[in-house]
Structure 1
Amino acid sequence: MLQLTNIDKTYRTSSVETLALNNINLNVKKGEFISVMGPSGCGKSTLLNIMGLLDEPTGGEISIDGSRVANYHDKELARLRNEKLGFIFQSFHLINDLSVLDNVEIPLLYRKTSAKVRRELAQEALEKVGLSNRMKHFPKQLSGGQKQRVAIARAIVGRPEIILADEPTGNLDSVMGNEILDILQKLNDDGATIVMVTHDDAMAQRTHRLVRLFDGTQVL
């Protein structure tokens, strides 16, 4: 479904060259729930950004459903990100001036989905994460766990096949963290493919497979 072949990523400035990823090979199969672990600065978020087509590798190939991403134009990449991928961030990235419902609708605006359908899909997504009673609230009125639920609802509102989660429980206590992972596991049970970056061994043990990175290199 999502395949990385010999992926390298190097960041360059006028005086410094930093190798962030070195020869990463990873095949994510449909329906898998994979966790990515490693010390800070080892390349976990860089890997997730490349998988999500938010960043380009310096070398290697990315394929989604057998199609090489390098062959896609910018508009095709944007469409692919919007339709096939859902993103969950540690810092939530909610818009404080918008209601919970309006925040969840945002990805559908880029698809030019009608207001009626946007509203229906957003309500459905919020029901899945247990926040149907908070639709009219604003982010500042929510707890950290509730904000992350909104972020998950926003990620799944377009019914993506692949969900990429960067430390989704990193800002939460253990109780809330487990509740968020319960939601992710339910989404996985319903067919979503998930790749999650985490520092938490207990969370990683609840996923199907663990990928470890160290200094940008995959540990086998």
Structure 2
Amino acid sequence: MITLNSIEKVYQTSTIETLALNNINIDIKKGEFVSIMGPSGCGKSTLLNIMGLLDEPTKGEILIDQKHVEQYTDKALALLRNQKIGFIFQSFHLINDLSVLDNVEIPLLYRNSSAQSRRDAAREALEKVGLSNRMKHFPNQLSGGQKQRVAIARAIVGKPDIILADEPTGNLDSAMGNEILNILLQLNAEGCTIVMVTHDESMAKKTHRLIRLFDGTQVY
């Protein structure tokens, strides 16, 4: 489903060159739930952004469903992201001026679908994460756990094959963090492939496989 071959990422300024990722080789199979762990600054989020086609590697190959994406145009990459990948961020990235329902609907605005079908899909996604009673609320009226559930609903509203979650429980207490993990485990049981960056070893152990990074390099 996601294959990374010999991935290298270098950030360069006029005065310094930083090697963020070095010779990363990963194959994520369809239906897997994989965790990525490592100390702060080791390249976890950079790796997730490259998997999600939000960032380009300096060197190496990316394959999605065995198709090379290096030659895709920006428009083709955006379409692939929208149709194939759902993103969940630690800081939620909700728009405070929009209702919960409107926030969840956002990914569908880039598809050629009717307003009614977008609304129906957003309602269905919110019901799936247990927030059907909060559709008309605004993000600043929600708890941290509720905001993250809205973010998950937004990630799944387009029925993506892949979910990339960057520290989805990082801003939550342990009880709410476990609730969020259980939602992700259920989505995975239903067939969604999930890659999750986490600092929580106990949560990582509940996933199928753990990839460790240290200073931008895989630890085997």
TM-score normalised to structure 1 length: 0.99
Percent of residue pairs bearing the same amino acid type? 78
Correspondence for 1:140: 140
Correspondence for 1:195: 195
Letter in 1 for 2:20: A
What is the root-mean-square deviation of aligned Cα atoms in Å? 0.4
In 1, distance between residues paired with 2:218 and 2:82?
Answer: 28
Letter in 2 for 1:29: K
Runs (5+) with no aligned partner, structure 2: none
Letter in 2 for 1:24: I
In 2, distance between residues paired with 1:73 and 1:213?
Answer: 30
Aligned residue for 1:147, secondary structure, equals helix
Task: Give yes or no for the alignment of 1:58 onto 2:63.
Answer: no
In 2, distance between residues paired with 1:207 and 1:98?
Answer: 33
Correspondence for 2:212: 212
Task: Give yes or no for the alignment of 1:106 onto 2:106.
Answer: yes
Alignment deviations for residues 125-167 of structure 1 (CA, whole Å, 9 cap, x no partner) = 0011000010011001100000000000000000000000000
Correspondence for 2:87: 87
Correspondence for 1:166: 166
Equivalenced residue count is 220
Alignment deviations for residues 65-92 of structure 1 (CA, whole Å, 9 cap, x no partner) = 1110112111100000000000000000
In 1, distance between residues paired with 2:190 and 2:71?
Answer: 31
Shift of 1:18: 0.2
Correspondence for 1:33: 33
Aligned residue for 1:70, secondary structure, equals coil
Correspondence for 1:76: 76
In 1, distance between residues paired with 2:196 and 2:50?
Answer: 14
Alignment deviations for residues 98-128 of structure 1 (CA, whole Å, 9 cap, x no partner) = 0000000000001132100000000000011
Moved over 3 A (4+): none
Alignment deviations for residues 163-212 of structure 1 (CA, whole Å, 9 cap, x no partner) = 00000000000000000000000000000000000000011011000000
Correspondence for 1:18: 18
In 1, distance between residues paired with 2:187 and 2:168?
Answer: 14
Aligned residue for 1:194, secondary structure, equals strand
Runs (5+) with no aligned partner, structure 1: none
